[in-house]
Structure 1
Amino acid sequence: MNTFQRAAASFNALVRPLIKAPVIGKYIGGAITEITYTGRKSGEEFSIPVGYKQRGDEVTIGVAFPDKKSWWRNFYPDGGPIRIDLGGATRTGHAVAHKKGAGVFVKITLDRT
């Protein structure tokens, strides 16, 4: 694990409980949430906090420093299943990663409930 990955893991460990905290979670829940996905190669399940924007049944996650992160590659180019916590409920959907220049974003189309 490199320095960036160690720092990200520490940050994630701090943010994850805040998302679920009764008072603070209400304030940051509209911008930060947790996604859960299965690794394409490992078959292992991972959960990480991410920043997001929701518009109807679509959720967009911007990937900061994409060259230093690998999670989004599980959804590139064909996409895959994902779970996301929204408003206290876990939703499922299909996520696809898109590259735009040096940037990367993941678009989730939520399944109908």
Structure 2
Amino acid sequence: MSGTGERPAVLVYRHPGAPAAVVREVCAGVEEEGVPAEVVDAPDGLTATGLAHAAAQASRLEVGIGVDAAGATAVHHGKLPLDHPPATLGADAPAPDRRRIGRTGARVVKNLPLG
């Protein structure tokens, strides 16, 4: 994996084959809320939820986002069990939803309502 998670940021763990447009929209959503995002290349074999959970465990902010090879996306918090992500999004979601899930991750950091 590249990236260290040393600066406070929402870590975005992406599968090596994740669509660049999805990652770009997710990061834009995080940053729209005033929270930094750091993209990390993650190992193959994890679901979006697994990637998000791993990212949350590594993030100093305890929030991570995972993007799998197909473009499915999940937001997770480091204190939640693996099978309870706060938000998930299917691979076929439109760009505005991708940006929204990034904002959701940032809102988890800021303890704001997700709606």
TM range (shorter): 0.3 to 0.5
TM-score for both structures, normalised by structure 1:
0.32
- Decide which structure has the larger Cα Rg and report it: 1
Larger relative contact order (Cα-Cα within 8 Å, sequence gap ≥ 6): 2
Q: Structure 1 or 2: larger helix share?
A: 2
TM-score for both structures, normalised by structure 2:
0.32
Q: Structure 1 or 2: larger strand share?
A: 1
